[in-house]
A and B are shown apart, each in its own frame.
Chain A
Amino acid sequence: MGEFEVHRVRFFGLVPAGVRCLACQPRGGRLALARTDGAVEVYNFAANYFQEKVIPGHEARSVEALCWAAGDRLFGAGLSGHITEYDLALLCVACSVDGCGGPIWSMAANSSGTQLAIGCEDGSVKLFQVVPGGIQFERNLDRRKGRILCLSWHPSDTHIAAGSIDFLRVFDVCSGQTLQRIMVNYHVLKVRRECIVWSIAFLSSGTVITSDSFGRVQFWDWQRGTLLESHTVSTSAVLSLAVSEKEDSIIVGTSTGATYQFQLLPVKMGSLEKRWVRTKPFQHHTHDVRAVAHSSTALISGGLDAQLVIRPLMEKMQKKGYDAALRKFTFPHRRLVSCARKARLLLFQFSQHLELWRLGSTDETGKDGEVLPLCRMPEHLVQLKSKGPEHIYCSCVSPCGGWVAYSTASRFHLYRVQYEGDGVSIKKVPKVPKLLLPAYQLQFSSDSGSLFVASARGSVHVLQLLEPGGCKHLHTFRPPSGSPEAVYLLASSADGHWLAAVGGDWAIHVYDLKCFKHHCTVPTYSCAVTALAIHPVTNNLVIAYSDQQLFEFSIPEKQYTAWSRMVQNCGLHRVWLERDSPITHITFNPKNPSHILLHDIYMFCVLDKSLPLPDNSALLMNQSTLKQLPETARQRQLHAFKICKKFQPLLFADLLDENCLVMVERPIMDIKTQLPLPIQQKKFGT
Chain B
Amino acid sequence: MAALCESFTLCGLGPSGGVGLGGGLLALEPGPDPDHVLLTDRGRTATLFKVSDQKPLGCWSVKHGQIITCPVVCNFETHEYIAVHDDKVLRIWKNKDINLDKVFKATLSADVYRIHSLPNGGPVVLFKGGGVRTLDVLLEAPQQEIENIISDEVIKWSEAFMEGQQPVLIFTTEKDGDFFVYVQKLKMNSLHKYKLEQQELSKPLSFTAYIKNQIITLLCLYSNDSVYKVLIPLQQNTEEEEQILSKSLLLNLSVSGSVLKGTSFVVLDKDHVAVLGSLAASGEESKECLTIWNTKFQTLQTSKELPLGTSGQLWCYEEKFFFTHGKVLTVIMYKCETSSLAAAVGKLKDSQTPDVSSFVNWNTLGDEELVVSFQSQQSVALKSESKMTLRSKRNTVAKVQPDTLSVGQLLLNLKDASTTAFEDELRQLMSKAQMPDFQATIGCVITALINRCKTNPKYYPRNFLLQIFFSGCELCSLFFSYSCSLCPDLMAVALEKKDVHLLQICLQRFPDIPEEITYACLKVFLRQVGITVFISEAYLQRIDVNLESVICYIDIEFNNKEVKTEIVENGFNAELEQDIWDTKITKETHLTSDGEFCPVGPQKAALLNAVLHSAYSETFLLPHLKNLPAQQAVLFLRYLYYLYVKCSEKINTTLPGIRSPTINQIMDWMCLLLDAQFTVMVMLPEAKELLSNLHKFVRAQVRFYSELNKIEGSLRELQRLNHQKDSQTYSIEVLELI
Interface residues of A (CB under 8 A from B): 1-11, 360-362, 365-372, 374, 377-378, 606, 623, 626-627, 634, 638, 642, 644, 646, 661, 667
Contact = CB atoms under 8 A, between A and B. Distances in A.
Contact of B728 (A2, A10, A362, A623): A10
Given A10-B728, A361-B732, 19 more contacts: A1-B737, A2-B737, A8-B732, A8-B733, A11-B729, A362-B732, A366-B734, A367-B736, A368-B735, A368-B736, A369-B733, A369-B735, A370-B733, A372-B731, A377-B730, A378-B730, A623-B738, A644-B735, A644-B737
A466 B579 CA distance: 110
Contacts of B735: 3-4, 6, 368-369, 644, 646, 661
Contact of A638 (B725, B730, B733, B738): B738
A489 to B, nearest CB: 27
B738 A369 contact: no
A507 to B, nearest CB: 35
Contacts of A374: 730-732
A142 B666 CA distance: 77
A3 B733 contact: no
Nearest to A362: B732
A525 B9 CA distance: 73
A614 to B, nearest CB: 14
Contacts of B730: 7-11, 360, 374, 377-378
Nearest to B738: A626
B20 to A, nearest CB: 43
Nearest to A637: B738
B613 to A, nearest CB: 33
Contact of A368 (B725, B728, B732, B734): B734
Nearest to B392: A269
B737 A372 contact: no
Given A10-B728, A10-B729, A11-B729, A370 B737 contact: no
The 3 closest A-B pairs by CB, nearest first: A368-B736, A626-B738, A11-B729
Contacts of A2: 736-737
Contact of B734 (A372, A378, A623): A372
A66 B736 CA distance: 48
A398 to B, nearest CB: 23
A644 B725 CA distance: 19
Contacts of A644: 735, 737
Contacts of B727: 667
Contact of A606 (B725, B733, B737): B737
A5 B737 contact: no
Interface string B205-220: 0000000000000000
Contacts of B725: 371
Contacts of A9: 729-730
A369 B732 contact: no
Contacts of A370: 733-734
Given A10-B728, A10-B729, A11-B729, A369 B737 contact: no
Contact of B737 (A8, A361, A366, A623): A623
Contacts of A369: 733-736
B392 to A, nearest CB: 10
B284 to A, nearest CB: 41
A361 B736 CA distance: 19
A261 B50 CA distance: 36
Contacts of A638: 738
B737 A4 contact: yes
Contacts of A5: 732-734
B738 A627 contact: yes
B455 to A, nearest CB: 44
Contact of A371 (B729, B731, B737): B731
Interface string B692-736: 000000000000000000000000000000000101111111111
Contact of B733 (A371, A377, A667): A371
A564 to B, nearest CB: 23
A145 B511 CA distance: 68
B732 A6 contact: yes
A543 B738 CA distance: 24
A367 B733 CA distance: 9
Nearest to A661: B735
A8 B738 contact: no
A378 B729 CA distance: 10
A646 B731 CA distance: 14
Nearest to A365: B734
A630 to B, nearest CB: 12
A15 to B, nearest CB: 15
A567 to B, nearest CB: 20
Interface string B136-175: 0000000000000000000000000000000000000000
A4 B735 CA distance: 5
Nearest to B726: A667
Interface centre among B728, B729, B733 (most CB of A within 10 A): B733
A368 B738 CA distance: 11
Contacts of A10: 728-730
A4 B727 CA distance: 21
Contacts of A661: 735
Nearest to A375: B732
A372 B731 CA distance: 7
Nearest to A627: B738
Contacts of B733: 5-6, 8, 369-372
B733 to A, nearest CB: 5
B596 to A, nearest CB: 32
6 contacts: A4-B737, A365-B734, A368-B734, A371-B731, A371-B733, A623-B737
Q: Which one of B732, B734, B735, B738 has the highest number of Cβ atoms from chain A below 10 Å of its Cβ?
A: B732
B732 A3 contact: no
A562 B738 CA distance: 25
A6 B734 contact: yes
Interface string B578-621: 00000000000000000000000000000000000000000000
A4 B734 CA distance: 6
Nearest to A8: B731
Contacts of B729: 9-11
Contacts of A360: 730, 732
A7 B734 CA distance: 9
A585 B727 CA distance: 25
Contact of A634 (B731, B732, B737, B738): B738
Nearest to A2: B737
B734 A642 contact: no
B732 A372 contact: yes
Nearest to A364: B732
B483 to A, nearest CB: 25
Nearest to B730: A378
Interface string B170-191: 0000000000000000000000
Nearest to A360: B730
A370 B725 CA distance: 12
A285 to B, nearest CB: 24
Contact of A642 (B728, B731, B737): B737
Contact of B736 (A3, A362, A372, A377): A3
B83 to A, nearest CB: 35
A367 B737 contact: no
Contacts of B738: 1, 623, 626-627, 634, 638, 642
Contacts of A367: 734, 736
Contacts of B737: 1-2, 4, 606, 623, 642, 644
A98 B125 CA distance: 85
A661 B735 CA distance: 9
A638 B734 CA distance: 21
A3 B734 CA distance: 7
A583 B725 CA distance: 29
Nearest to A367: B734
A11 B734 CA distance: 19
A627 B737 CA distance: 9
Contacts of B728: 10
Nearest to B737: A642
A36 to B, nearest CB: 26
Nearest to A374: B732
Contacts of A626: 738
